[in-house]
Amino acid sequence: MNLSVTEVRLTPILVADPPLLNTQGVHQPYTPRLIVEVVTADGVTGVGETYGDTKYLELARPFAQKLVGHQVSDLNGLFVLADEVVVDSSRVAGQVDVGGLRGVQTADKLRLSVVSAFEVACLDALGKALGLPVHALLGGKLRDAVEYSAYLFYKWADHPEGVTAEKDDWGAAVDPAGIVEQARTFTERYGFTSFKLKGGVFPPDEEIAAVRALAEAFPGHPLRLDPNGAWSVETSLKVAKELGDVLEYLEDPTLGTPAMAEVAARTEVPLATNMCVTTFAEIKEAFTRDAVQVVLSDHHYWGGLRNTQQLAAICRTFGVGVSMHSNTHLGISLAAMTHVAATVPDLHHACDSHYPWQSEDVLTERLTFEGGKVIVSDAPGLGVELDRDRLRFLHRRWLDDDGSLRERDDAAAMRIAEPGWVTPTVPRW
């Protein structure tokens, strides 16, 4: 068996995204992703997926060159190779991360987000070569299915007039009734029983009303609210007080570990984060200050599936819960998330996934949710297959773009509808 990488293919694509609202603005009609393929000397191909903005492509290209000759089984070596990739200082100095939701951009964060796709692709290739599913390479599954939550968004019916976009069939959701209707559609289509509302869009009282309406419509179901740090400490405490009886957790109500610690000290409602604990270096302060009770891992920015397992082990040590965060992603990443989630002990919260919002994919067969769960595949590798025609089509869209959609920018997309819009840099409420 020859596990040496002989070829790496990088395919940037643009995938349709509905007009989902968040505190930064609104999703663009098309969002960039990067599809990574590694091919071994035996002709086995492994696939991975990550962010597709230019700053990631700039690192993925030299990384791909270094990977030729590397063994797909040498996963630790990927991080050694990544350290050799030079990050342009203009990409990190004073820059905030994708959507501004992971704090200040650093060279390590950028590199890890790139490595994650290559790690997944190597695991996929290794699994195929050995006839083993990825979860087996990660130590074996502890569950046969992984539960996901319905990821509810405030949403316009359509992208702004004049903007080229794919039509979706979700309709608008800009008030409590719209959010409840969206939640019902999620349950009918996918069987989800746990709900997360993306907040930070409307004044907190309106979002409190939406969560109350969900609690009435779905009594006893786990509910979360995530304003991406849009609130002050006092507003966070007010929301926690008003929704304390129905929330499973409050996600990133406010920005930064010190402010999160202050909220956590004054409420019984657990706090979750995918914003103040996004790197191993940030764990110590957050955990020793009891700032968060649940960390939402994202294998893209934590540097892959094995780092996710390491994060889970640290969380377990400190009695902190772990679950999964999601940004816009396709089926390769959903498969990867499902494999790693299957191996994590003490996974007590349904994972997040944007996947139902993505009407397009690069797979021959979409992954499905049954009863809100994705079955853990036992097929070799990730258990997914690339649809080359779809990949070509979505890549063509990327090639044809004049550059305006190649960087995800929710604030710029919002300015088309609201010309004066600027993303708030301090808590809005």
By C-beta, is 176 or 253 nearer to ligand GKR?
253
Which residue's beta carbon is nearest to the bound ligand GKR?
A: 22
Minimal distance, residue 196 CB to Mg ion, in Å: 8
Cβ–Cβ under 8 Å, residues 303 and 119: yes
DSSP codes, 225-247: EE-TT-S-HHHHHHHHHHHTTTE
Binder of residue 198, out of ligand GKR, Mg ion, none (CB less than 5 to 8 A by kind)? ligand GKR
Rounded to a whole number, what is the largest CA-CA distance in the chain?
61
Minimal distance, residue 312 CB to Mg ion, in Å: 18
The closest of 76, 74, 86 to 110, measured between CA atoms, is 86
Binder of residue 338, out of Mg ion, ligand GKR, none (CB less than 5 to 8 A by kind)? none
Helix axes 257-265, 233-243, angle to 10 degrees: 40
CB < 8 Å & 24+ apart, contacts of 74-81: 75/119, 75/122, 75/123, 75/304, 75/306, 78/115, 78/118, 78/119, 78/122, 78/304, 79/115, 79/303
Count residues binding Mg ion (CB under 5 A): 3
Minimal distance, residue 119 CB to ligand GKR, in Å: 20
Cβ–Cβ under 8 Å, residues 76 and 47: no
Annotation marks residue 325 as catalytic: yes
**Chain Cα centroid distance, residue 361:** 16
Residue 119 as a binder of Mg ion (CB under 5 A): the answer is: no
Minimal distance, residue 226 CB to ligand GKR, in Å: 5
Rounded to an integer, what distance in angstroms lies between the CA atom of residue 393 and that of residue 155?
Answer: 27
- Interface positions, 253-282, toward Mg ion (CB under 5 A): 274
Residue 97 as a binder of Mg ion (CB under 5 A): the answer is: no
Contacts of 406 (CB under 8 A, 6+ apart): 12, 14, 32, 52, 53, 54, 398
Residues engaged in binding ligand GKR (CB under 6 A): 20, 22, 99, 101, 198, 226, 228, 274, 325-328, 352
Residue 23 as a binder of Mg ion (CB under 5 A): the answer is: no
By C-beta, is 24 or 274 nearer to Mg ion?
274
Minimal distance, residue 364 CB to ligand GKR, in Å: 26
Residue 179: both structure tokens together: 């959010």
By C-beta, is 116 or 274 nearer to ligand GKR?
274
Annotation marks residue 198 as catalytic: yes
Gap between the terminal Cα atoms of the chain: 59
Binder of residue 20, out of Mg ion, ligand GKR, none (CB less than 5 to 8 A by kind)? ligand GKR
By C-beta, is 73 or 194 nearer to ligand GKR?
194
Rounded to an integer, what distance in angstroms lies between the CA atom of residue 86 and that of residue 89?
Answer: 9
Minimal distance, residue 386 CB to ligand GKR, in Å: 24
DSSP H/E element including 288: helix 283-288
Residue 226 as a binder of Mg ion (CB under 5 A): the answer is: yes
Binder of residue 99, out of Mg ion, ligand GKR, none (CB less than 5 to 8 A by kind)? ligand GKR
By C-beta, is 111 or 354 nearer to ligand GKR?
354
Which of 299, 325, 354, 373 is flagged as catalytic? Answer: 325
Binder of residue 16, out of Mg ion, ligand GKR, none (CB less than 5 to 8 A by kind)? none
- Per CB under 5 A, which region of 89-97, 114-122, 220-228, 391-399 contacts Mg ion? 220-228
Minimal distance, residue 252 CB to Mg ion, in Å: 5
Binder of residue 193, out of Mg ion, ligand GKR, none (CB less than 5 to 8 A by kind)? none
The closest of 185, 179, 171, 188 to 211, measured between CA atoms, is 179
The closest of 153, 201, 160 to 178, measured between CA atoms, is 153
DSSP 345: T
By C-beta, is 142 or 411 nearer to ligand GKR?
411
Binder of residue 309, out of ligand GKR, Mg ion, none (CB less than 5 to 8 A by kind)? none
Contacts of 115 (CB under 8 A, 6+ apart): 63, 78, 79, 82, 303, 304
Residue 236 as a binder of Mg ion (CB under 5 A): the answer is: no
By C-beta, is 70 or 406 nearer to ligand GKR?
406
For the chain, how many helices (H) and strands (E)?
14, 14
Rounded to an integer, what distance in angstroms lies between the CA atom of residue 8 and that of residue 256?
Answer: 38
Residue 37 as a binder of Mg ion (CB under 5 A): the answer is: no
Minimal distance, residue 98 CB to Mg ion, in Å: 13
- Per CB under 5 A, which region of 3-11, 142-150, 218-226, 260-268 contacts Mg ion? 218-226
Contacts of 207 (CB under 8 A, 6+ apart): 197, 199, 200, 201, 225, 227, 239
By C-beta, is 122 or 413 nearer to ligand GKR?
413
- List residues binding Mg ion (CB under 5 A): 226, 251, 274
Catalytic residues: 198, 325
